[in-house]
Amino acid sequence: MAQITSQVSGWKAFRVFLEMIKFEHSIFALPYAMIAMIWASPSGWPGWRVFLIILLAMVTCRTAAMTFNRIADRDIDAVNDRTKMRAIPAGLLSLRTTNLYFYASMILFVFAAASLNSVTLILSPIALFVTIFYSKTKRFTWLCHFWLGLSLGIAPSAAWIAVTGHLTWTPIFLTMAVLFWTAGFDIIYALQDEDFDRENTLHSIPAKFGKVRGLTISRISHVLAIIFLVAAFPPAQVGGIGWIAPLFAAGMLTYEQSLVKPNDLSKVNFAFFTLNGCISIGVFLFVLADRLVRR
């Protein structure tokens, strides 16, 4: 059982909440949404209003999904040595307080969607369902990693729709790139819980296929991510600097995969957060630099 500690309140509770949902992990999908926003805007900039609303929508949608994940998994987290000190099982945040954050995030997301255009408002329940339902998928399918990939992957398509009101192949390919990139690194992260998942009838690729084949599936996913990332780049809008982005991502993913071995998971956390955060920011900066140079 998790060690029970005193509940926190006020500003400290909010800081604990941000830590609980790993707010800093918003950096994974957000840069790809910004790339789609740049490409969808004729001038490369949709204006401060649209930018800030897209930012609000992306952050609140992810916050709602992660909060639901912590609520849904609280009993599982309480018996897993790796997660038993998370805020809810450890007693730092009450279920009532966490639910308040969850509903507030959903309301803010729908408000942001409604502030963009009618299409984003209509699609907002679908976006919430896709991102929130991920927490349930590990209970019945080892394909849960790809559902998580879709949860992050819809960010660039959503940003494109926010600017233009419709979809084209460019954001769809970018969505697929993010989907397979996310699934690949989530499989790596799940290697830590292979035995726990099997013992508790939870589904994951490592629990289903083992570490060796799990890493193989992760590597195939990352190859597909690069293929779709290259396919997403619109030749008419990307110059020489922009094309460095997929090369940078490919190099970083190769390095990431080299760090993790079936019998050595000591660098999983570095591979999971640090490198993937660098990939997102790096790809975005190359695209942004290319757009600024080409203006």
- Model pLDDT for residues 136-170, shown as the tens digit of each residue: 999 999 999 999 999 999 999 999 999 999 999 99
What's 10-294's CATH class?
mainly alpha
Q: Place 2 in a pLDDT band, splitting at 50, 70 and 90.
A: very low
Q: Residue 280: pLDDT above 60?
A: yes
String of DSSP letters for 120-176 = HHHHHHHHHHHHHHHHHHTTT-TTHHHHHHHHHHHHHHHHHHHHHSS--HHHHHHHH
pLDDT at residue 8 tops 90: no
pLDDT tens-digit readout, 178-203:
999 999 999 999 999 999 999 999 99
Task: Quote the tokens at residue 278.
Answer: 């660098």
Task: Please state, in angstroms and as integers, the Cα–Cα distance from residue 219 to each residue in 16, 23, 94, 216, following that order.
Answer: 34, 27, 39, 5
Q: What is the pLDDT of residue 23?
A: 86
Q: Tokens 């005193």 label which residue? A: 6
Treating both helix axes as pointing N-terminal to C-terminal, what angle do 169-190 and 30-40 enclose, rounded to 10 degrees? Answer: 170
- Six token digits for residue 22: 């790993």
pTM: 0.94
